A and B are shown apart, each in its own frame.
Chain A
Amino acid sequence: MYNGWKILLGLIIFLAVATFPFYSNIGKATVKPEPKIDTPVINELKEKKCVESKEFMKAEHMQLLNDWRDSAVRDGNRIYVAQDGEKYTISLQNTCMKCHSNKKEFCDKCHNYAGAKPYCWDCHIAPKEAKK
């Protein structure tokens, strides 16, 4: 082997970087986030349902919010008619967050896990929550 120590050093650095996710996680049990929906508003609902079906919300809620924003801010249309015909006022703070007033236990649970950091709260006001 020629220039052995330089090449070995390079390989050790390469392996240390490439396997970092493995040795920093090994043996750690991963806990799947369980978004909580027990807020006062939701508990009072007769039928516990979101704007759209749960499956749809799970996958498409960012798209829905984006459509809501365009609809309200660009077209001035602040009424959303859901698939099942129910009407909702288009508002992030006054519709979504009225029901999901537990942002830390709901939105943030998933987002922290998935590494998503919506910048919406730079401007929009998150519901007040008791700090835990």
Chain B
Amino acid sequence: MGALFSFVMVILLVLLAYAGIKAANLQIFFGVVIPYAAILTFLLGFVYRMLKWSTSPVPFRIPTTCGQQKSLPWVKQNKIENPSTALGATVRMILEVFLFRSLFRNTKAELRDGRLGYGSSKWLWLGSLAFHVSFFTISFRHLRLFLQPVPSPVHFVETLDGFLQIGAPTFLITGSILLLAALFLLLRRFLLPTIRYISLPADYFPLFLIIAIASTGILMRYFLKIDVVSVKELTMGLVSLNPMIPEKIDVIFYIHLFLISVLLAYFPFSKLMHMGGVFLSPTRNLSNNNRMVRHINPWNYPVKARTYEEYEDEFREKMKNAGIPVEKE
């Protein structure tokens, strides 16, 4: 159900952009208004979500550790999997963000001959790493449409991406890897019963959306051959805040642009916020120094205390009269 709903939503978005351009000639709306609104929503929403998270106190250290804790001097500590210093936690975060270390530990439980066994399962790690690296490379390559002159690192990445030198326009590897990896992540949700059970529309929708974005991109570059020079005129108009609509850009470009705008606007409200959230995960970014450093609960209020001296000062006369011994005369 969730999958069908998300699929229909994405199809509707495609049709919306198609009809908007073909039937209503809303080029300015789809080419200028929507992209600006989407970028603004993305930036403000992203900052808002992060600031909101930053108001959550982290009173106690809760890293999930998977190695020997710092202990007696002759016990070897696992400095990355059980960091006791900020440096160790930083290295752990870098490995997490760039290499998805916790996915690398993914295991699969299986009943074999009636006995439960656990085995390493790397496919999810490989699929998501391929997905994210391609997504990043593709975004970086798109800078050629937003900078003039095109800086050499962008050319360098594009040359690297096209090093197979197949055909013209040169076949770029990451485009198809992104599509294949997204399809893999989708099939995983379809085929594994346990994963299917916990999958919601919020899981399917971004996948279908990204699959649609990658497909329209591939269509534009290799099959329908849109006019890149006009497209760059439009994109440069957007980033230099001089928006303009060149004539004769094929509708497929507006569909692509609209889907990306939807992705950007949807981003801060969705699970995609893990892009910023990963940096704030307390199970990853804290060092395990619960017993080495005193962590004070930030919502502790100052407790009103009264010492015996103060008590005695107040009641000294009465105590003396009643014959109770006092410490100070």
Judge: A and B partners, yes or no. Answer: yes
A: residues with CB less than 8 A from B are 1-4, 7, 10-11, 14-15, 18-19, 21-22, 24-30, 32-33, 58-60, 62-63, 65-66, 110, 112-119
Given A25-B148, A117-B155, A30–B229 Cβ distance below 8 Å? Answer: no
List residues of chain B with CB within 8 A of the CB of A24. 147
Given A14-B276, A21-B146, A114-B229, A7–B239 Cβ distance below 8 Å? Answer: no
Q: Are B43 and A2 in contact (CB under 8 A)?
A: no
Q: Are B242 and A59 in contact (CB under 8 A)?
A: no
Q: Are A2 and B55 in contact (CB under 8 A)?
A: yes
List residues of chain A with CB within 8 A of the CB of B148. 25, 28, 30, 113
What separation, in Å, do the CA atoms of A66 and B225 have in the docked complex? 14
Q: Are A115 and B144 in contact (CB under 8 A)?
A: yes
27 A–B contact pairs at CB < 8 A?
A1-B55, A2-B54, A2-B55, A2-B298, A3-B58, A4-B54, A10-B276, A10-B279, A18-B43, A22-B241, A25-B239, A25-B240, A27-B240, A28-B148, A30-B237, A30-B242, A32-B233, A60-B225, A62-B168, A66-B168, A114-B229, A114-B232, A115-B145, A117-B155, A117-B158, A118-B168, A119-B159
Q: For the complex, is B73 an interface residue (Cβ under 8 Å from A)? A: no
List residues of chain A with CB within 8 A of the CB of B126. none
What separation, in Å, do the CA atoms of A115 and B144 have in the docked complex? 6
Q: For the complex, is B47 an interface residue (Cβ under 8 Å from A)? A: yes
Q: Are A30 and B236 in contact (CB under 8 A)?
A: yes
Q: For the complex, is B50 an interface residue (Cβ under 8 Å from A)? A: yes
Q: For the complex, is B325 an interface residue (Cβ under 8 Å from A)? A: no
Given A66-B168, A118-B168, A3–B54 Cβ distance below 8 Å? Answer: yes
**B contact face: mostly helix, strand, loop, or mixed:** helix
Q: Are A25 and B147 in contact (CB under 8 A)?
A: yes
What separation, in Å, do the CA atoms of A107 and B1 have in the docked complex? 51
What separation, in Å, do the CA atoms of A112 and B56 have in the docked complex? 49
Q: Are A25 and B167 in contact (CB under 8 A)?
A: no
List residues of chain A with CB within 8 A of the CB of B170. 119
What separation, in Å, do the CA atoms of A4 and B146 have in the docked complex? 32
Q: For the complex, is B57 an interface residue (Cβ under 8 Å from A)? A: yes
Closest CB pairs A-B (n = 3)? A115-B144, A21-B146, A62-B168
Q: Are B240 and A26 in contact (CB under 8 A)?
A: yes
B: residues with CB less than 8 A from A are 42-43, 46-47, 50-51, 53-58, 143-150, 154-155, 158-159, 165, 167-170, 225-229, 232-233, 236-237, 239-242, 276, 279-280, 298
What separation, in Å, do the CA atoms of A28 and B43 have in the docked complex? 23
B294 vs chain A, min Cβ distance (A): 16
Q: Are B168 and A115 in contact (CB under 8 A)?
A: no
List residues of chain A with CB within 8 A of the CB of B240. 25-30
What separation, in Å, do the CA atoms of A29 and B229 have in the docked complex? 15
List residues of chain A with CB within 8 A of the CB of B279. 10
Instruction: Give the nearest-CB partner of B228 in chain A.
Output: A114
What separation, in Å, do the CA atoms of A126 and B183 have in the docked complex? 43
Instruction: Give the nearest-CB partner of B237 in chain A.
Output: A30
List residues of chain B with CB within 8 A of the CB of A110. 229
Other-chain residue from A22, A63, A117 in contact with B159 (beta carbon distance below 8 A): A117
A20 vs chain B, min Cβ distance (A): 8
Q: Are A22 and B239 in contact (CB under 8 A)?
A: yes
B236 vs chain A, min Cβ distance (A): 4
Q: Are A59 and B54 in contact (CB under 8 A)?
A: no
What separation, in Å, do the CA atoms of A30 and B241 have in the docked complex? 11
A59 vs chain B, min Cβ distance (A): 4
What separation, in Å, do the CA atoms of A113 and B148 have in the docked complex? 7
Q: Are B56 and A115 in contact (CB under 8 A)?
A: no
Q: Are A2 and B227 in contact (CB under 8 A)?
A: no
List residues of chain A with CB within 8 A of the CB of B42. 18
